[in-house]
Structures are given as structure tokens and as C-alpha cells.
Chain A
Amino acid sequence: MKKMKVISPILMEVSWVPCSPLRRVRIGPIKVRYRMLLLVFRLSFLSFFPSLSLSQHFAPTRTKPHHRISVSLNLKQRKQREEKRRMMMKLDTSGLESFSAAVPSAMATAEDQLFAPPSFDLPAGCADFDKFQMEAKQTLKHAKGTTTLAFIFNQGVIVAADSRASMGGYISSQSVKKIIEINPYMLGTMAGGAADCQFWHRNLGIKCRLHELANKRRISVTGASKLLANILYSYRGMGLSIGTMIAGWDEKGPGLYYVDSEGGRLKGNRFSVGSGSPYAYGVLDNGYRPDMTVDEAHELARRAIYHATFRDGASGGVVSVYHVGPNGWKKLSGDDVSELHYKYYPVQPTPVEHEMVDAPPA
């Protein structure tokens, strides 16, 4: 049974609740359910503020609006109110809609036009729209030139990545942050289109925070990766290029999921994503043991990324290694790959065949 320090529940109202309301919590010799504790503190808090309503203790969820002095409404206003309420309670399924171009059919009724997805004019002079769409996607296709890896071991999750961004053969940056901090206990990696990854990870961070505020508990890694995978599936075929790993520590322990822009989502213990991933897998799979210490795991991740940057042209720059433990993530190191090379393989003085010697003075 995990021991949990109890911090004043009054402060919990404004910060994250670290455990479920049903969990049994120990304060000194007494063992109570957490929600009982919350109730006691709230009641004592309210004894100083009797004007506050008591109904919030006994209704666990607020579905009905608060009581008001009734106003006499005519039939039309009452109907409008009902409809507004019904609209507000409608589920937001905008993330699940498919965005396939709607071909206006000859038999479209008024209702069909109202509920059909937005349609647009085809580009002028375009006989074959499918080919045009394929070509448009091809121009935006990124080759996922990068190396990122993540693995679970007994002490948590290690996440590592290089820092090079390339556009074809040109290196556009050697200092890109490819490990995105979604929140203090979850990390995401970036591979593929940089803009896509940055935007959707930030979007995921927003959704995770909304989940916490709505449900008063942190989202699990399973849940977060599912949210992202569902969003990416709804944009499938539109040319997004994302190959990311969501790593974190939740109530069930360390979690690692691979999510990509084709809509795939895989749970696993070891992943590497990007053009340098075959090289990183070779080193990672060889040196992996579940019972490593944090230092050994750190060195393994750094070595794997270094070897990938040596062999792969599209990876390079700086190796960043992060560790996700029970208290959240921590950045372990950021080493320049070139310095690592000369550290692992110092320059040997080569034997010189012909050496010029000054002629002795006559």
C-alpha cells in the first residue's frame, strides 16, 4: 500500500488532487477514506462562512442549475430555453468527424446540406483531383529525419532524442527541442513534421489539464495517448506527419505508448522512432536489462542516440536524456554528439610514413 503524505485538503481545492476520493488515507492512527477527510474540512471551513450553500456537499455532481426565484415565461421563451439547454448538453464530437471532401450529389436535400461537412470549390483546371491531392501531400511529406527513443525499466522511463532539424539535405537547426514537456509528469517526443508535433502536443497538454480540472485527478498515460491517437486518426490521410512516444508515470506506474499520424497506437517497453531508429535499436536492444540503475540506463540511451547520429545523416546535434520517475520528469543531460565521439573514440596518433626533418647545418 503506497504511503501518502496528507497535505491540508483546503489547499487541495485550488491545486491538483493527488489521489482518488475513494482511496483510504492514514492520518496518524486513523484510517479514513479521502472524501471523508474532504467533507470534514469543508464543513469546518463553512462554519466560518455560514452563508455559503450546503447543497454542494450532498450532490456529488452539479447537473441541475441552482434554484432561482421563478420567473413567469411565455411558451416561446420556455421552448428556447429548453433547446439551449439541449444544445449545451450535446457531446462535442468534432474530433471524430472525418474531413473527406464532400461531393455534392444531385439528390442533396436541405437537411443533408445542413449537416454535410464543409465543401469547397475544386481548383481550376484540375481534372484528376485524387492525383492533385496526392501530389500536394507529397510536397509536404517530411521524412521523419531524427532519432528518438524511450524505454521502461524498473526505475521508470528514460526518454532520449537528438536535436537536428533537416529540410532535405540542408540542416536547418542543430538545437531543436524534440522532447516536449506536456506536463510535469508526462513527456512527448517529436519525430516527423516539427510544426505538427509541437502543435498537437501542446493541444494534448491543454486537454490533459482540462481533464484534471473536470475530474479532479491526473490523466493516465493510457488516457492521454488515447486522446492524441483519436485526434490524429480523425486527420488521417490529410498529410500530418507525427511519430511520437508518450511517456509518463501515473497511478499504475511507468507508461510508454507509441502514437503516429496514421492513427496507430502501441503500448510497449522499448521504442525508437525516426530515420536513425534502426541504429539506435541495435545499441538499445543489445544493452537493455530491466534491472538497470538510472545511471546505466542514462548511459545506454546516450550511447544509442550517439551511434544513430554517427550513422544517420539526418540526426545530430545534441543528445538530450530525460528520466521520468514517480515524482515527474527530470532532464539528466544534454551532450554535444561530436564531443561524445571524441570521448568514446579518442584520436590515435597515426604512424607517419615520411617525416620531414630539417637538414643539419653544413
Chain B
Amino acid sequence: MSIFEYNGSALVAMVGKNCFAIASDRRLGVQLQTVATDFQRVFKIHDRLYIGLSGLATDAQTMYQKLVFRHKLYQLREERDMKPQTFASLVSALLYEKRFGPFFCQPVIAGLGDNDEPFICTMDCLGAKELAKDFVVSGTASESLYGACESMYKPDMEPEELFETISQALLSSVDRDCLSGWGGYVLLVTPTEVQEKILKGRMD
């Protein structure tokens, strides 16, 4: 098994009508052994910007700490929060700095930009940005997630429908992956509120 499959992860972000949702599984494992079922993979940067990091768990945590540090400095200098597009460029640059000894993580960035326009993007472990208008996936269950999202996604969904769709896509995909699952975590962000929900999934 490769280094990306050492801990196991599943991440997906989807765009709705003036809202977005980002979801992850909750398993932390050491190859096949499950060590924790409440591991956090989606982190807040500021109220309207979230990042999910799949891949090696230690690199995910380190990347998050570095990004929070950089964002706090930005806030002090610019006296405002970062825009999602800028943040994506920051992540990409940080990852490429380690081109010949990379962080083994694949980020999924989701945020609300100007005029409450939702923004999602994903990257590989070296920082190649992939902007998408509908959904992005990452992790060991990514192939199953692509299939599930492709078939379940509709453009301009309301928040409740978006939550249903992303939950179903996540749960059905991790049921086909040995290394991710054991519950789900969904974060739904609209211009006025943030909802976080924990999904009851298969615990095998």
C-alpha cells in the first residue's frame, strides 16, 4: 500500500445555490487497523473558508498548522480575511515549495467568495490546482466518490437538498473502501449560517 493509503481518508466538496458543503469520513487507521473513529479532517480557516486535507494524517495536521499561521499573518497585515482564490494560490505555493520532498496530502478547499459566490478547488500533493464548478473529491475512496457525485449531482441545489446529496454520495462511496468510513462529517455553509452534522454510517 502506498503512503497515501497509510491512514485512509475520503473528502468531497460540492457547490449549491449560494452555498457549499464539504464532507469527510472520520476514520484514522494504521493500514488496516482502525485507531480512531472521530478524526477531524476538515478545518476552518475563517468563517467563510474551510480546507479539508486527505492523505497522510500527520502531513494534513502540519499543513493545517502552517496555513493557519500564514492566514493569521495575512489578517494582521491586510486587516481582513483571505479570499478563497488567494488562499488556494497560497496552498499551491506552499506545496510546491516542497517539490522534491513533498507533503503527502491532497487538499480540498471550499469557501464563499465575493457576492456569496461559492468556490471549490482541489490539488494534488505538489500543488496543481483543479478548479471545478460542481464538485471535487480526494482520498482513498476518490474513484468511488467520482462515480457517486457524478450521478447524484444537480446544479443549483438548495442547502437541504445539497446536504442530502453530499451525505449519500459520501456514505455510498466509503462503503466500497476498506480504509475510510466509520461515520461521516458534513459541514454546510450558507451566507447566513454554518451547520455541522455527524453522519451515522457503517462501522465496518
Chain A residues packing against B (C-beta within 8 Å): 145, 162, 164, 166, 168-171, 174, 275, 309-317, 337-338, 341-342, 347, 356
B-side contacts of A314, CB under 8 Å: 32, 178
Q: Does B202 count as interface, using CB distance less than 8 angstroms?
A: yes
Q: Does B34 count as interface, using CB distance less than 8 angstroms?
A: yes
A169 with B179: CB separation less than 8 A? yes
A-side contacts of B200, CB under 8 Å: 342, 347
B178 with A166: CB separation less than 8 A? yes
Question: Contact flags (1/0) for B153-187 with A, using CB distance below 8 Å?
Answer: 00000000000000000000001111100000000
Q: How far is the CA of A23 from the CA of B18 in the complex (A)?
A: 85
5 contacts between A and B (CB under 8 A): A169-B8, A170-B176, A171-B175, A312-B32, A337-B202
Q: Does B29 count as interface, using CB distance less than 8 angstroms?
A: yes
Q: Which of B34, B140, B204 has the most CB of A within 10 A?
A: B204
B204 with A164: CB separation less than 8 A? yes
Report whether over half of chain A's contact residues are helix, strand or loop; otherwise say mixed. loop
Which listed residue, A170, A317, A356, touches B204 by the CB 8 Å rule? Answer: A317
In angstroms, how far is the closest chain A Cβ from the Cβ of B135? 21
Which listed residue, B29, B140, B176, B204, touches A315 by the CB 8 Å rule? Answer: B204
Report whether over half of chain B's contact residues are helix, strand or loop; otherwise say mixed. loop
B176 with A337: CB separation less than 8 A? no
B-side contacts of A317, CB under 8 Å: 204
B-side contacts of A168, CB under 8 Å: 1
In angstroms, how far is the closest chain A Cβ from the Cβ of B9? 11
Known A-B contacts A313-B178, A314-B178; A169 and B140 likewise in contact (beta carbons under 8 Å)? yes
Chain B residues packing against A (C-beta within 8 Å): 1, 5, 8, 29, 31-34, 140, 175-179, 193, 200-204
B34 with A169: CB separation less than 8 A? no
B204 with A169: CB separation less than 8 A? no
A-side contacts of B31, CB under 8 Å: 313
Given contacts A169-B140, A171-B175, 8 further A-B contacts (CB under 8 A): A168-B1, A312-B34, A313-B29, A313-B31, A317-B204, A337-B202, A337-B204, A347-B200
B-side contacts of A164, CB under 8 Å: 178, 204
Known A-B contacts A275-B32, A313-B34; A171 and B176 likewise in contact (beta carbons under 8 Å)? yes
B-side contacts of A338, CB under 8 Å: 201-204
In angstroms, how far is the closest chain B Cβ from the Cβ of A347? 6
In angstroms, how far is the closest chain A Cβ from the Cβ of B72? 24
In angstroms, how far is the closest chain A Cβ from the Cβ of B95? 24
Known A-B contacts A145-B32, A312-B32, A313-B8; A171 and B178 likewise in contact (beta carbons under 8 Å)? yes
In angstroms, how far is the closest chain B Cβ from the Cβ of A146? 11
B176 with A309: CB separation less than 8 A? no
A341 with B140: CB separation less than 8 A? no
A316 with B204: CB separation less than 8 A? yes
Nearest to B37 among chain A residues (CB) is A310
In angstroms, how far is the closest chain A Cβ from the Cβ of B19? 17
Known A-B contacts A313-B8, A342-B200; A145 and B34 likewise in contact (beta carbons under 8 Å)? no
A145 with B178: CB separation less than 8 A? yes
A310 with B178: CB separation less than 8 A? no
B177 with A171: CB separation less than 8 A? yes
B-side contacts of A174, CB under 8 Å: 175
Q: How far is the CA of A347 from the CA of B201 in the complex (A)?
A: 12
Nearest to B143 among chain A residues (CB) is A170
Nearest to A276 among chain B residues (CB) is B32
Which listed residue, B5, B34, B201, touches A311 by the CB 8 Å rule? Answer: B34
A-side contacts of B179, CB under 8 Å: 169, 313
In angstroms, how far is the closest chain A Cβ from the Cβ of B190? 13
Known A-B contacts A169-B1, A275-B32, A314-B32; A309 and B204 likewise in contact (beta carbons under 8 Å)? yes
B-side contacts of A166, CB under 8 Å: 178
